[in-house]
A and B are shown apart, each in its own frame.
Chain A
Amino acid sequence: MVRAVLFIDPESKVRALLYYPLSNGWNFQEIKRLSPGSVICVHRNIDVVTMTADLPNGSFGMDARRKPYFHGIFVGIVSILITTGLHAQSSNPMSTAVIPSDHLVQPEQLNHELQIHPQGVLILQVGSRVLFEEAHIPGAEYAGPASQSEGREILRKRVAKLPRNRGIVIYCGCCPWNRCPNLGPAWNLLAQMGFTHVRALYLANNFGADWVAKGFRAEQSH
């Protein structure tokens, strides 16, 4: 069991990871050093920034290739406990890591639920429109690629008037689960909006391999 602090930038990229044994306390000075207005710079055009430890407050490291920019701000700090089972995955930062494992639904389970209550759950595809038009879960709605601000806006508008306890399943299936850029941001948005009954469909490889190829129903919209 480990505990971890993840710094995630506005583009849902993990910018810093701090791992501690569960038995050890946080080093809040180090967290503050990494936090907004401190040392780390986040700017979409900067790839390399050096940040020496133990600098006095207000001192900055230097971009290895450009003059420093320090106006980027992290939008969130995610603090989570990760079991040893998930630790292997967390060594490869991924947006889907923010989704608790007990909020995942397997394809077989969702397919079963749909057979019993076809309209029982709101299913939102938060990935590619092209892939959605090509094949999607019957009844599912396209809700925009959540890795992009335009996509999140589509999702926000779609769910804005729904009761916060409404059952929602989000899925993407654009690429392998630990590489999906859309589900994490979609999950975060719905959580921020107060939705309590959200599940994410676990598609290990993609929608084709883990849904269509299993013989589960899909429909087209083009």
Chain B
Amino acid sequence: MLSSHISRRSIFVRQVSYAGIVLGLLLAGAVGHAADRMLNRPAPAFSRFDLDHTRVSLAAYRGKVVLLNFWATWCAPCRLEMPRFVEWQSRYRGNGLQVVGVSIDDDDSPVRPFVQKLKLNYPVLMGDARLGESYGVLGVPVTFLIDRRGVIRARFEGEADLSKMESEIRDLLGASAH
């Protein structure tokens, strides 16, 4: 009697554990590996107001190569690479590059002075969980390179190889950028 009770209970615990693992895997599939599956697929559309209250829509940049950078003011690797983005925005603007920054700070109060201090020459908008989820962003920095047709061609996470990133940008921009 007791052994059968324990047996039923252990089976139940095992089933619950399996259910938990399946749920975890499902969520992992939803957000963790989303990034890998996103390569060579259309970039999720979004439309938000930037810090200057101008509407930023990804669709409006069709025809340009978009560098979409998720960052935060407290993120040291983010702060290291952003001056390069400023430089690239200036250098490759005429070739069709558009950098877009998405801050995942809790609010814009530390973001505004930071944007001014770094003299960011591209739009910065405040991110949210829905936008982060749609791009599978669960840590920063993460940078996507989106081609002129709106397809994600590259994803860089953590302390990225900026030389490699610039090289890929040049490739996407075409011969005119070389």
Contacts of B174 in A (CB 8 A): none
C-alpha spacing A134/B25, complex, angstroms: 16
Stretch of A28-36, A64-72, A204-212 that contacts chain B: A204-212
A220:B129 contact, CB within 8 angstroms: yes
A148 at the interface (CB under 8 A from B): yes
Residue of A173, A175, A217, A220 touching B75 (CB-CB under 8 A): A175
Residues 6-39 of B, flagged 1 when their CB comes within 8 A of A and 0 if not, give 0000000000010011011101100111010000
A210 closest partner in B (C-beta): B139
Contacts of A197 in B (CB 8 A): none
The number of residues on chain B lying at the interface, defined by a beta carbon within 8 Å of a beta carbon of chain A, is 37
A181:B106 contact, CB within 8 angstroms: no
B168 at the interface (CB under 8 A from A): no
Contacts of B87 in A (CB 8 A): none
C-alpha spacing A218/B136, complex, angstroms: 14
The number of residues on chain A lying at the interface, defined by a beta carbon within 8 Å of a beta carbon of chain B, is 34
Contacts of A156 in B (CB 8 A): none
> Nearest Cβ distance between residue A218 and chain B, in whole angstroms?
5
Contacts of A217 in B (CB 8 A): 20, 23-24, 27
A175:B138 contact, CB within 8 angstroms: no
15 of the cross-chain contacts (CB-CB < 8 Å) are A128-B106, A128-B140, A130-B127, A131-B137, A133-B129, A134-B132, A147-B74, A179-B75, A181-B74, A206-B140, A207-B138, A209-B32, A212-B27, A214-B32, A215-B24
B-binding residues in A (CB < 8 A):
115, 128-131, 133-135, 145, 147-148, 173-176, 179, 181-182, 205-209, 212-222
